[in-house]
Amino acid sequence: MNRGLNLKRHTIAKFLTFPLRFPFNESIRFLSSFLRHLLFKSIRFMDSLVFPSASEDADDVFTLFDHSFSPLQQPSLSNSTEPLFLVSFRWWKEAREAVCSGGDGVLYNGTAQLTGAGEDEEKKAGMAAGRRDSKILVSMKREGEAKISEEERVSSEGDFALVSEWMFLTALKWHNDLTGVESFLPDEDSTHDLFSLQIRLLCVLETNSLVIKISQKDNQFGAFNTAYNIFCNEPRSLRIWDFSEQTNQLFTNKRKLFRDSGLLDEEIILELQVYGFSYSIKTREKGKEDMMAEQSMSDVPSFSGSLNMNGGVDKVNLYSRDEQSSALGRGYGRIPPLGLTGLYNLGNTCFMNSAIQCLVHTPKLVDYFLGDFRKDLNFENSLGTHGKLAIAFGDLSRKLWAPRTTPVSPTMFKSTLASFAPQFSGYNQHDSQELLAFLLDGLHEDLNRVKHKPYAELKDEDDRPDVVVADEYWRNHISRNDSIIVDLCQGQYRSSLACPVCKKLSITFDPFMYLSLPLPSTTLRKMTLTVVSTEGPTLPYPITVSVPNNGSLEDLVQALGTACLLREDEMLLIAEIYNHSIIRILDDPHDSVDLIRDNDRLVAYRLAKDTDGTPLVEFMHQPKEKLYIHAFPSFEKFGIPLLARMTDFSKGSEIYKQFLKLIDPYLMQADDSSIDSDITQNIAHEEEEMEDVVLDSDANLDSESANDLDSISDFEFYLDSGNFLASRIKIQMDEPVPISKSKRLIKVLVSWPKKMIEDYDTSILSLLRDVCEPTLKKPRESVSLYKCVDAFLKEEPLGPEDMWYCPHCKDHRQASKKLDLWRLPEILVIHLKRFSYNQYFKNKLETFVDFPIDDFDLSSYTFDKNKFCHHYALYAVSNHYGGMGGGHYTAFVQLGNNRWCEFDDNNVFPVDWEKIKTSAAYVLFYRRISLNDIE
């Protein structure tokens, strides 16, 4: 049984990583020691072959079963290792000269031959599949580090290059951007250029060479036959350049280990990624039908598109959940369309998928994470995640930009994110902007190039020019915060506070990562409320007023007061009615009317102005004949609750008097056809008797007279605590009302006998309308993005809870605050504040924002006009569809040449640029453009 190492191999669809297996000899104890050092300590090259960058599964780890070593002897893993790719030297050289830097590489000269194939004819034809012992031997002699001469730059058609993963992806994207693919869809007959080849690597120190063995038994026939066509089809010498800097360390470290241990060379099994040679093979074999060549292509699934109908418009589903297709183009002749990979929804993770797709398509940011971003990892920053979040995001970015179309499952990224941000754990729906804010901040801290932050003391303005002060603030900020996120996404505010008394002005310059813009209204909102009077013969009546959509409750009260001719000694109290009772009183004048929904039912009570905190009594109505359902009484209420101020609660009869006064306007008048005059006279007689009893303050009532008093009242009154299960306290006419003096609103339930329901017109009490009737609803309003910027930069007073301490007045003042844009970033992220909250509920604004796509001009809004161009072009949008209770996130992304696509979790669709503007737009992503790019 093999002992020492047990490596768990994990296969992913993007690239196969490099699993490593060693032959173990149970009789040689020290061999295990050597292999362990070779695996974990000797060279970064071996680390890259064994330990892939973050895999998709959280449990994708390697376990050790050799207990002859203590944990303290186990070396840590390198964070700078990358998988290895074999590509055309010429293809790599073009991209390297443009975007990649590094050494000149290590040159190998070699030859290749086929062994064990049997007959010579089979060797010539490359038909070695029939023999399982067939091998391709590639012998490569190391010539050492070499510079690329001018002649080699031109005549290097047949050379190979070994590059690491970040080099490969960087070059691939550079070629993709340079070519500018016109179509999303690859040709149906396009060949597949990326495949995994399992090889056996042997390092021969005596001859300073590498031997690569490609065995038929280790590979599928298609891969083996393609390898034969690459290395052996044409007899020639091979030149392989290693730019990954891995083999150099292989020789250096392995020589030292072998010298120390005295062991012989060992054969290493690994998987090499080969890209871009199918096209050259196909060109050589043009016009020649080769059954095995076709079979080699069958190992890679082919593309199949599907057409879906959505709102009558054809949408081509590029890559759906079940498609296992390839978008590889024709070798180096056709660059495959990159960046079209979707993300699986793990359960309400559409908010995360939308934000990620916008970020991984952000110019320069995607190039950074496809490149060697690990060199900037900051493992010492206590404010970050010790590099884990940046590594997880970088690995996910590379999976999404690899030449593949199978959707990616972001399991590992979500797990890493949740470990540092528990609010995103589980599978509840969240806000894409909140995730974006945390992710940008976390990536910045993980990639902060400043390892030790200096102390920066802020100086007073001292009437210095704003330019000088702003630059000083920015230098202090950069001295502590220097990352790709700061380079691309951070700008600077100019924030000013003005004292309303002494006019003292305080100016600061603060950094920002994104702009959160309010949605102002350009139209008026028509709102209908029911006005109820607490005195006089006036019956309830609806009244419709117009209020600005971005108005406050104070604006609504003023409009209502004007419409109903409110007296100076009166006030309006607005309450929301639900289930025939008051559920909340709208008494904060600063609350936005956006918090009032169209289907709310509001009542405006006309009350005398409150000067001494007089309690309010709410009278709710209920039929006296209770219905019993499942042995429990039904307390179903009816009508609009009535409201009154009361100061005297010494006797329950005061409650009765106040209620009779409120319902007097609802008493139906006597006539020959409807109301019997005797009933009316009886009610009037009861009222007179009650007044006589109550006004006689000197009368001493005994128990018998109290019972007589109760008997003359047809209504019954109960104190209601609002708890269905709690017992209701009946109010006695001759006893004090048991209430708390500190209670502002006293709820009284009035029990109506059937006779009284017939005598009063209770139907009037049921005339309660919605705030906005369906017939009054207008089409969704439209507002310009520039208006949102204006509203954001508008001067406004601070709230009472945010008082500013004025250094001149030596007191807290309600200062006026003004924001201005001083320095704008290269990538401008704009968050549209569609969601509003209060203590009762949440609300979403469906306002259509008309945002520019090609030229968003902020020149007139920016103070610092000399350093950069302030024109921006849209390249991504995070959309939210639905309401607060549930919704769905998608993303629109531009892929160049004015081509847009929609990322809906794992599905990717092309979309017309005219359809980018919708009322679902939630977060907008802009990139700076030059004036020359503006048409």
Residues forming a β-bridge with 837 = 842
Q: What is the average pLDDT across 703-716?
A: 52
Q: Which residue has the higher pLDDT, 595 or 333?
A: 595
Q: Is the pLDDT of residue 457 over 70?
A: yes
Range in 204-213, 347-356, 544-553, 887-896 the model is least confident about:
204-213
Name residue, tokens 């008093």.
Answer: 709
Is residue 730 within a helix (H) or strand (E), and if so which, with residue range?
A: strand 729-730
Give the pLDDT confidence score for residue 75 in this predicted structure: 30
3-class DSSP state for residue 396? Answer: helix
Residue 354 is predicted with a pLDDT of 96
Q: Which residues contact 231 (CB under 8 A, 6 or more apart)?
A: 112, 136, 138, 214, 238
Give the C-alpha separation, 96 to 170, whole Å: 9
Do the bridges between strand 796-797 and strand 816-823 make them parallel or antiparallel, or are there none, so unpaired? Answer: antiparallel
Q: How confident is the model at residue 363 (pLDDT cuts 50, 70, 90)?
A: very high
Q: What is the DSSP letter of 648?
A: -
- Side by side, the strands of the sheet bearing 716-719 are 638-645, 616-623, 745-752, 716-719, 729-730
Quick one: DSSP state of residue 42?
I
Report which listed range, 109-118, 258-267, 346-355, 704-713, is most confident.
Answer: 346-355
Q: What is the pLDDT of residue 461?
A: 66
Whole-angstrom Cα distance, residue 326 to residue 300? Answer: 8
Residue 128 confidence (pLDDT)? 46
Separation between Cα atoms, residue 651 and residue 695, nearest integer Å: 12
Q: What HEC string does 735-755 produce?
A: CCCCCCCCCCEEEEEEEECHH
Whether 396 has a pLDDT exceeding 80, the answer reads yes
350-360 vs 411-420: helix axis angle to the nearest 10? 100
Confidence of residue 69 (pLDDT cuts 50, 70, 90): very low
Could you tell me if 337 and 183 are in contact, meaning their C-beta atoms sit under 8 angstroms apart?
yes
Q: Does position 380 have pLDDT exceeding 60, yes or no?
A: yes
Distance between CA 853 and CA 792 in Å, rounded?
20
**Which residues have a catalytic role annotated?**
350, 888
Quick one: average pLDDT of 25-44? Answer: 38
CA atoms within 13 A on the CB side of 165: 27
Question: Could you give the CA distance from residue 893 to residue 829 in angstroms, rounded to a whole number?
Answer: 14
- Which range of 3-17, 389-403, 533-547 scores highest in mean pLDDT? It is 389-403
Judge residue 276's burial from the number of C-beta atoms within 10 Å of its C-beta, 0-12 exposed, 13-18 middle, 19 or more buried: buried
**Distance from C-alpha of 390 to C-alpha of 442, rounded to nearest angstrom:** 8
CA distance 573 to 580: 17
| pLDDT at residue 592, as a whole number | 83
pLDDT given for residue 769 in this prediction: 85
- pLDDT of 652 over the 60 cut: yes
Lowest mean pLDDT among 58-72, 229-243, 330-344: 58-72
Lowest average pLDDT, out of 189-198, 503-512, 909-918, goes to 189-198
Query: SS3 of 682, please?
Result: helix
Q: What is the DSSP letter of 502?
A: T
Closest alpha carbon to 903 in 355, 167, 394:
355
Most confident of 138-152, 180-194, 723-737: 723-737
> Which tens digits make up the pLDDT trace of 873-884?
999 999 999 876
Compute and round to an integer the Cα radius of gyration of the chain.
Answer: 39
Query: How buried is 517 (Cβ within 10 angstroms: 0-12 exposed, 13-18 middle, 19+ buried)?
Result: buried
Structure token pair of residue 446? 């993980």
Quote the distance between the C-alpha of residue 589 and its chain's center.
33
What would the mean pLDDT of 33-52 be, rounded to a whole number? 37
Which pair of tokens denotes residue 300?
């890679």
User: Is the pLDDT assigned to residue 775 strictly greater than 70?
Assistant: no
Distance in angstroms (rounded) separating the CA atoms of residues 389 and 443: 7
What is the spatial distance between Cα 628 and Cα 426, in angstroms, rounded to a whole number? 44
Residue 811 has pLDDT above 90, yes or no: no
In the predicted structure, residue 2 carries a pLDDT above the cut 80: no
DSSP-based three-state secondary structure for 49: helix
Question: How many residues are present in the chain?
Answer: 935
Q: What is the mean pLDDT of residues 113-130?
A: 58
Q: Per-residue pLDDT for 239 more than 50? A: yes
CA distance 598 to 32: 75
69 vs 638 pLDDT, higher one: 638
Which residues are paired to 35 by β-bridges? none
Taking residues 67-71, report their average pLDDT. 29
The pair of three-digit structure tokens given for residue 593, joined into one six-digit string: 């009317």
Question: Closest by alpha carbon to 73, among 101, 97, 39?
Answer: 39
Q: How high does pLDDT run on average in the chain? A: 74
- Taking the CA atoms of residue 282, residue 284, residue 286 and residue 290 in that order, the dihedral angle to the nearest 10 degrees is -70
Mean pLDDT of 775-788: 75
pLDDT beyond 50 at 557: yes
Instruction: Assign 53 a pLDDT band (cuts: 50, 70, 90).
Output: very low
Q: Please say if the pLDDT value at position 658 is more than 70.
A: yes
Tell me, yes or no, if the pTM score tops 0.85: no
Q: In the predicted model, what is the mean pLDDT of residues 142-150?
A: 65
Q: How confident is the model at residue 254 (pLDDT cuts 50, 70, 90)?
A: low
Which residue, chain included where needed, has tokens 């954001």?
A: 792
DSSP-assigned letters across all residues of 183-219: -SSPPTT----EEEEEEEEEEETTTTEEEEEEEGGGS
What pLDDT is recorded for position 285?
Answer: 57
3-state secondary structure 104-173: CCEEEEEEEEEECCCCHHHHHHCCCCCCCCCEEEEEEEEEEECCCCHHHHHCCCCCEEEEEHHHHHHHHH
> What is the structure's pLDDT at 530?
93
Kindly report, residue by residue over 598-613, the tens digit of the pLDDT: 889 999 999 988 767 7
Which of 5-9, 177-181, 712-716 is predicted with the least confidence, judged by mean pLDDT?
5-9
Q: What is the mean pLDDT of residues 829-849?
A: 79
Query: How high is the pLDDT of residue 702?
Result: 44
Q: Which helix (H) or strand (E) holds 695?
A: helix 677-695
Residue pLDDT, tens place only, 298-313: 343 333 333 232 333 3
Average pLDDT over residues 415-422: 92
Of 828, 827, 825, 830, the closest CA to residue 867 belongs to 825
Residue type, 693: V
Which comes out higher in pLDDT, residue 452 or 727? 452
How far, in Å, CA of 246 to CA of 505, rounded?
60
The residue ranking higher by pLDDT, 804 or 492, is 492
CA-based torsion, 572, 573, 579, 581: positive or negative: negative
Report the pLDDT value the prediction gives residue 502, as an integer from 0 to 100: 86
Instruction: Give the model confidence (pLDDT) of 281-293 as tens digits.
Output: 655 555 444 444 3
- C-alpha torsion angle, residues 722, 727, 729, 730 (rounded to 10): 110
**Two tokens at 672?**
């020959």
